[in-house]
Amino acid sequence: MTTEHMKAFAAIEEVVIAGVFSRTWGKAEKLAAQYPGTIVCDSIDELYDKTKADIVVISVPELVVAETAIKCFQYPWMCLFEKPLGLDLNEAKQISETAKTMHSKVCVLLNRRHYASTKAVIADAANLHGTRFIHIQDQEDVKIPRSKGASEILLSKWMYANAIHLIDYFLFLGRGKIIKVDNIVPWDPSNPGLVISKLEYASGDTGLYQAIWNAPAPWIVSLSTASRRWEMRPLEQAACQDYGVRKPTLIEAHEWDTQFKPGLREQAQQAINAFKGKPNTMPSLDDSLATMQLIYKIYGE
C-alpha cells in the first residue's frame, strides 16, 4: 500500500515525496530509490525534522497503529492513516480522543469511497426518489492469514481489519442515522460462518449485511430503488439496471482507476484539497469512528 500511495501522490505535479521511514531499512531504501531526492529516515522524529513535510501517510500493521499515531500527532503535518485507525472500537476511540486533544489534523484512507464506481453510484442515487435498499455481501477468511503466521490478536479483530472495506459502504450509501441494527444471524467467534444483520436508517432506508466466513463468496455492493438498481461486482466496476430492463449497463472505469490502484489517485487529490482547506471528500476521524462503531454493532467484538 505504501508503494501505491507514493505512486498516486507523485503523479500530482505540486507534490514532492520528501522522505520515508520504515522499521526495515532495506524496504525504505527500495521505496526511496524510486523517487530521487527522497530521504531515508531512522525514525518518525527524523522524518519530520529532515523534511518538514506538510502531509504524512501512515501505512503500518494494525498492531502498531496506536503507538505510531501518538508519535505522528506530535508534529503539525496532516496525518493520513490507512484503515483501520485502531485495532478495534476501543482503540479507535482512544486514538480519536488523542488526536483531538493534540489538535492533530487527521483523515482516514478509506479508498473505496474514492472509486470511480462508488462516485458514479453516489452521484446518480442523489437524483433517485424513494427509499433505498443497500445490500452488502461480504466474504472473510482468517484461515489463509493464519497459515501465513498472522497474529491471533489481529485475527480476532479481523472484522475491523478487513470487513471494514465492505461495512463502510453503509455509512454513505444509506441516508440519515442508522437507528437500529438487528443481528438476524449473530456472529459466533467460536464457529465463524454466516453473519446476517439488518440495518434501519432514520430516512426509511434499509440495509442488509451478509457475510460468509472461511468459505467462498463474492464481494458485492448493491443499491436498489423503485426505478433503478446499482451493483458493484467487483467493487471497482459499477453497473445500473432500470426498472423494466433486464440487462444492466456497465459504467466505464475512470483512467485513474486503471493506471493506479483503484481510488488512490482520486484520494490523493482529495487529500491535497483537504490540506489546502478546499472542498474535499476525505473521511474524517468521526467518519472513521462511525464505521468502527457499526462494525462493533454487527460483530460485538
Q: What percent of the chain has pLDDT over 70?
A: 100
Residue 11 burial (C-beta neighbours within 10 Å; 0-12, 13-18, 19+): middle
pLDDT digits (tens, 9 = 90+) for 120-156: 999 999 999 999 999 999 999 999 999 999 999 999 9
Q: Angle formed by the axes of helices 89-101 and 65-72, to 10°? A: 10
Q: Of 239, 177, 169, give the one whose Cα is nearest residue 209.
A: 169
Mean predicted lDDT score pLDDT of the chain: 96
| Architecture of the structural domain at 2-110 | 3-Layer(aba) Sandwich (3.40)
Q: Of 219, 184, 217, 221, give the one whose Cα is nearest residue 200.
A: 184
Residues of the chain with CATH 3.30.360.10: 113-254+285-299
pLDDT digits (tens, 9 = 90+) for 148-160: 999 999 999 999 9
Grade residue 20 by pLDDT with cuts at 50, 70 and 90. very high
Report the alpha-carbon distance of residue 202 to residue 294 in Å, rounded.
Answer: 15
Q: Which residues is 241 bridged to in the sheet?
A: 229
Using an 8 Å Cβ cutoff, are 167 and 291 in contact? yes
Cα atoms found within 13 Å of the Cα of residue 258, Cβ hemisphere only: 5
Residue 301 pLDDT exceeds 80: no
Report the alpha-carbon distance of residue 181 to residue 297 in Å, rounded.
Answer: 7
Report the alpha-carbon distance of residue 91 to residue 130 in Å, rounded.
Answer: 38
Phi, psi dihedral angles at 41 (to 5 degrees): -115, 160
pLDDT digits (tens, 9 = 90+) for 74-113: 999 999 999 999 999 999 999 999 999 999 999 999 999 9
pLDDT digits (tens, 9 = 90+) for 267-290: 999 999 999 999 999 999 999 999
Residues of the chain with CATH 3.40.50.720: 2-110
CB contact set of 188 (below 8 Å; sequence gap of 6+): none
pTM (predicted TM-score): 0.95
Across 211-228, average pLDDT: 97
pLDDT at 253: 87
CB contact set of 147 (below 8 Å; sequence gap of 6+): none
pLDDT at 258: 93
The separation between the first and the last C-alpha atoms of the chain, rounded to the nearest angstrom, is 26
Quote the cell numbers at residue 74.
506530535
Q: Of 88, 59, 61, give the one whose Cα is nearest residue 72.
A: 59
Report the alpha-carbon distance of residue 184 to residue 187 in Å, rounded.
Answer: 9
113-254+285-299 carries CATH number 2.40.110.10 = no
Across 225-236, average pLDDT: 97
